[in-house]
Amino acid sequence: MTATAPPPETRPQGDPSRLPPEMRFSPSNWLRKNLFNNWYNTLITVVAVVVGAILLFYGGRFIFVTGQWEAVRKNLTLLMMGVYPRNEQWRLVAQMYLVASALGLAWGTVTARSHDRAEETGVVAQRATPRDLLRRYWSILLLLAVILVFTRTIWPTLFTLSTIAVGLAVRAGAMRLPPSSRRICGYAAAFMAIVSFQVVSGASGSAWWWTSALFALAAFQLTSARDLTKYLGTTMNWPIFGRTRLVTARDLVRLKRFAQILAVVAAVVVVRIAYWLIGDTSSVSWDDWSGLYLTLVASGAAIILSFPLALLLAVGRRSSLPAIRWLCVSYIELFRGVPFIVLLFVAKIFIDFFLNIDTPLSLTTRTIIVFTIFSSAYLAEVVRGGLQAVPRGQIEAGQAVGLQPPAVMRLIVLPQALRAVIPAMVGQFISLYKDSTLFTFISVVEFYRARELIHSQQEFTTTAIAETLVFVAFAYWAISYTMSKESQRLERHLGVGER
């Protein structure tokens, strides 16, 4: 008995020899409890250890000793960016930096906002430690490491590391910006992403016009934000008013006009200069996108494009108008009932037959169209599940405060429904990402097709089949696994099924 013994009334009474034995954690206890607790478990453990050891031995020998990884090493560029023109690779690097900045900006803004919210509600925001991040993203970091191990020059490593550094630096910067500028950060991130795709797909013909128009519109929107004008008007003493005096409401209006004109002109000029920098790029088009790059871009495009369509379909399927309901049901059931590969062949052979156009669409475009149509049907079912999960009382409460049906949908039903199905949607995204392997059948050079191209080279016709397959499978696995882990984390985080 020590001095820190618990008070008598909480201690079990009686003969000490009849008390249950004290369970303490020790390796031998753990082993006995988890591996050798009875005879058949012992048997299973022994068998499992033997089988595991054999698999580990052969696996390790394959990876480190016998594997002919030369096939991957020599064709890493083919796997990553496929048949993209080799002398235009700087575009991809430029896009990497732009996308990293955009992601950093968005991530920093979102984190800063959630920290602010946490502070408002008095919750201490938990900062993710490097160890947490490692645990969350280990598979994708491992993939990155494996890819970099296969590179033959130092440049890809430098570019990757500097991209990560740029992203983190932008994130750190974005977190220090004042709250009023967050909306601008969102716009800026979106436009950086769009610009990056302009850089990669190359700009030709009318692209410059619509990009300028888009930018001018965005600049106009940005400068119309009330927060911004207020921020500009109240924090600075603008010499354009002639003399320093108190800023009045009229000044703000004038300032806003001025800012709007300036922003539109600046947007057009910037786009022009950017296009001048990008140069005449008839040498690249988005049909050149291939390899892992195309897989990621096509899946991302299908996810983003199919989301609004899926939302409409899901709402339409629950509509009280029978005709609209049946149209939505037939769309969903038609595209869910047919294998994706069939739709891909429709895209390849005769999607142009349906549209009365002179110049045929490019294969990449057709593939992305069909991918979007297909994924919207599946996503619509996921969203519908969320809509069904919103209690009727919520809708009735919305009606009771006099909201119109669209407003009830937008303000009350959809936020709850979408929150409930975020994990399921991530699951859908994973399966989309996996389905993109099927592009290989219609000769779109995505990641898996790039692997097949390796084996059409004379050197590797019958060798290194398993090596390239393992590499490709690992790349698919690492990205899907990260997504699925993140969705499980989100599920816990959002408390789905617990409230």
Partner 1 sequence: MSSPADFASTQADLTAVPSAPFSRRVLALLADLLILILVGVISVWQLGIRLLDNYSDIPELALAWVFAAAVPAAIVAIVVIDAVRIGQTPGMAAAGIRTLHDGTTKRVLPTDDPRVPEPGIPALWRDVRVLRLAAQLLAVVVVVALIRWMFHNLIVRMDEIGLPKGFGFLESPYGVALRDAHGFDVRDPVWKALLIGLQNTVVASVVGIIIATVVGLFVGIARLSSNWLVAKGASLYVESLRNIPPLIVIIFFGSALFTFGPFPRFNPTNPPWQGTFFGSDSNWIIVSRDRWAIPSLASESNVGVFWLLVLAAAIIAVAVWQWRTRRNNATGEPHHRVLWSVGAFTVIMVACFAALGGPYSWSWPAVSENGRRVVGGFSTNSGYMALTLGLGLYTASFVAEIIRGSILAVPKGQTEAATSVALKSSQRYRHVVLPQAQRIAIPPYISECANLIKNTSLGLAVAYPDLFLVAVTAWGINFPAPQIILIIMIVYLTMNLIVSALLNVYNRSLQLKER
Say how far apart CA 104 and CA 171 lie, in whole Å.
Answer: 4
> What SS3 state is found at 446?
strand
Q: Does 187 bind partner 1 (CB under 8 A)?
A: no
Q: Does 138 bind partner 1 (CB under 8 A)?
A: no
Q: Does 61 bind partner 1 (CB under 8 A)?
A: no
Q: Which is nearer to partner 1, 231 or 481 (CB)?
A: 481
Q: Does 276 bind partner 1 (CB under 8 A)?
A: no
462: which DSSP letter?
Answer: S
> What SS3 state is found at 98?
helix
Phi, psi of 446 (to 5 degrees): -95, -165
Q: Which is nearer to partner 1, 339 or 415 (CB)?
A: 339
Q: Which is nearer to partner 1, 21 or 337 (CB)?
A: 337
Q: Does 115 bind partner 1 (CB under 8 A)?
A: no
Say how far apart CA 481 and CA 270 lie, in whole Å.
Answer: 40
User: At its nearest, how many Å lie between partner 1 and the CB of residue 186?
Assistant: 31
DSSP 294-356: HHHHHHHHHHHHHHHHHHHHHHHHT-S-HHHHHHHHHHHHHHHHS-HHHHHHHHHHHHHHHS-
Do 478 and 139 touch, CB atoms closer than 8 A?
yes
User: At its nearest, how many Å lie between partner 1 and the CB of residue 300?
Assistant: 17
Q: Does 435 bind partner 1 (CB under 8 A)?
A: yes
DSSP 177-206: S-GGGHHHHHHHHHHHHHHHHHHHH---TT
Out of 54, 236, 469, 493, the residue judged to bind partner 1 by CB under 8 A: 469
Q: Which residues contact 240 (CB under 8 A, 6 or more apart)?
A: 258
Say how far apart CA 221 and CA 263 lie, in whole Å.
Answer: 10
Binding segment for partner 1 (CB under 8 A), chosen from 20-28, 75-83, 88-96, 462-470, is 462-470
Do 467 and 69 touch, CB atoms closer than 8 A?
yes
- Other beta carbons within 10 angstroms of residue 397's beta carbon come to 13
Binding mask 29-48 for partner 1 (x = CB under 8 A): -----xx-x---x--xx--x
Say how far apart CA 79 and CA 476 lie, in whole Å.
Answer: 12
Q: Does 355 bind partner 1 (CB under 8 A)?
A: yes
Out of 324, 361, 422, 490, the residue judged to bind partner 1 by CB under 8 A: 324
**Two structure tokens written together for 25:** 């954690």
- What number of chain residues touch partner 1 (CB under 8 A)? 52
Q: Which is nearer to partner 1, 91 or 384 (CB)?
A: 384
First-to-last alpha carbon distance for the chain, in angstroms, is 46
Q: Which is nearer to partner 1, 77 or 437 (CB)?
A: 437
Out of 128, 304, 342, 397, the residue judged to bind partner 1 by CB under 8 A: 342
User: At its nearest, how many Å lie between partner 1 and the CB of residue 85?
Assistant: 28
CA 150 to chain centre: 25
Q: Which is nearer to partner 1, 97 or 476 (CB)?
A: 476
Out of 333, 388, 396, 410, the residue judged to bind partner 1 by CB under 8 A: 333
> What SS3 state is found at 428?
helix
User: At its nearest, how many Å lie between partner 1 and the CB of residue 331?
Assistant: 9
CA 418 to chain centre: 16
Q: Which is nearer to partner 1, 45 or 260 (CB)?
A: 45
Out of 111, 151, 157, 437, the residue judged to bind partner 1 by CB under 8 A: 437
Say how far apart CA 476 and CA 60 lie, in whole Å.
Answer: 20
Out of 75, 306, 372, 440, the residue judged to bind partner 1 by CB under 8 A: 440
User: At its nearest, how many Å lie between partner 1 and the CB of residue 3?
Assistant: 38
User: At its nearest, how many Å lie between partner 1 and the CB of residue 465?
Assistant: 5
Interface positions with partner 1 (CB under 8 A): 34-35, 37, 41, 44-45, 48-49, 52, 320-324, 327, 333-334, 336-342, 345-346, 349-350, 352-356, 430, 434-435, 437-438, 440-441, 448, 462, 465-466, 469, 472-473, 476-477, 480-481, 484
